[in-house]
Chains A and B, each alone.
Chain A
């Protein structure tokens, strides 16, 4: 199809004629175009890499009906607007914007293209043609916190964050609370580096956390830089978004893997079938959106059993890390004994739990 349209262009057919021709051919061939806006490079081996795996799952499952396109390295500022608009103009019927920072841009472009469906990842603003989807990463982070709380000798854990957005705040809190269940005195030192991807800064921040006494550092940024520093120092950490054990065979205790494929396939199928609706989807371990990589051999059997227990608990609903009493950093009671935070509250959380040491 692309070849034909290019040839048509070269023949000097007017732009309007060409466009209608492309549209007709698309209809004739019946392939639905699905677009993706990616935050980082697909080679980041983390967040964007995992989303791209999800895109490839669409190609594999619906390749005869659906065609996917993507744009990498799209900044989370106003410059995302023309990029999203461009995908809509290219004829995409469904566009996934795969990071929190595209929230308002997605809503804006969606209002210009009422016939195109949009899906925004990790946000909370919806419209008739904008759905949101998210993954309960905090369920995975509770597993990591359990391991870290049990394995840390100093009881001081490092957390390398990106920005203070609900997803990261949830991750920090889940990690800290789970660690405190194993070691009530556990503390989490938090450094936000104001970027999702900046390997030198991630490395320097990891250095800093280690220097200040952390013996396990977990990351909420997208490169394996922190793990490599931990490997060099003989300490432990966790992968983010994908199994990063090849970068740090000894330091990589386990990782949270994001599995977007089934959701993406299901939503693309809904477009093909014409059954797409604007919804808010927040799947987790139960649905298989978040999985935990195989444990490193450095994880002792009893710790692995505890971590498995947390995983099983999330899946059957018997475990929730956000069960009261929960205090915030200043010691105010935020969740009473016997209560559990609702998903709606979790989605907009903006305070850290007691035991988190942070600058903001």
Chain B
């Protein structure tokens, strides 16, 4: 009977969403109790956390208020790489039911783990994500996030099943089939990376299908930064409301924060993920409202607790009440990062990975640059390499083979298919001082 009661409440509400509306005092109390518990768990089971806390003379008992969080050391992406693959796990493998992985700064991926309880929390925050986007039981939802090691596909899938929607687990790619299913299944909502959905809009138009005439009414987009201009274009060309979601594998995957019907900032599910904003240079905690780097602490994660994880994403926290009534603080849409990570098709790529791939090919590093463009709505990466004497051959076949080896090596390290262009010596632009490797031309095309 409960189901029928909340179904009458209209889209956007679900019993699990009640945590979105906790009174502030109750929320802070819950956060503190969970923080004390997670710090104790991390200290007891993860040598890296215990060692760092011991060095600072901090014990789990030192955490008496949320402000004491600032006494704990930061965790960074390199820590996951250095403890690859399982060094940060706080649960024995017998309790871990799932592993996911994403690219790290070198060839090794970042590995993350989930217990059964973690999967339940993940499902619940994704349920709240979809509820905030007005999706409910009875909706047919096409999930175009990639299924597999990437957290996007399965994270969204479990949330959709939990809310009772009908999932179409199509995963990424095969755009013509995506368009066919959208139309034939009379799909109401879609999950995708925004750049892929722009591509899908263009392909649908080529196939003579106007998405505005389909029952599709909402899109849940994430896994890469996008601009307000992209949102406007998506909403106008597809006739939908486009919701921004935020998450990262190191914390849980998608489901860290999501937009509501107000579409004005992303509510952080801070009963599970505690946000801080710091000065990326000094590490000092900044007050709410100031822009800086987002730092997240998992409050309930069992298999892999994260204490003060530096996301490198630049944003600010909004405390003003939201029109939707949720009491969760909002984070502003992430527009830039404090490091040089690129996100292509939802895959994290660092220039250092490209460099490692180039070195692996011939043992020498040519002058190169990475150009990011948006073609037909889809992000493209081109790696341009100057042909130096040691790489040059008078045989076309040898040069094409070189290009193929480079593309293959980059694919091996990043998982991406990139275009490789061979260029004349001294033809690529050079920057003075610190070498500029990445030329992002995507803003110009929007």
- A and B found bound together: no
Interface residues of B (CB under 8 A from A): none
Interface residues of A (CB under 8 A from B): none
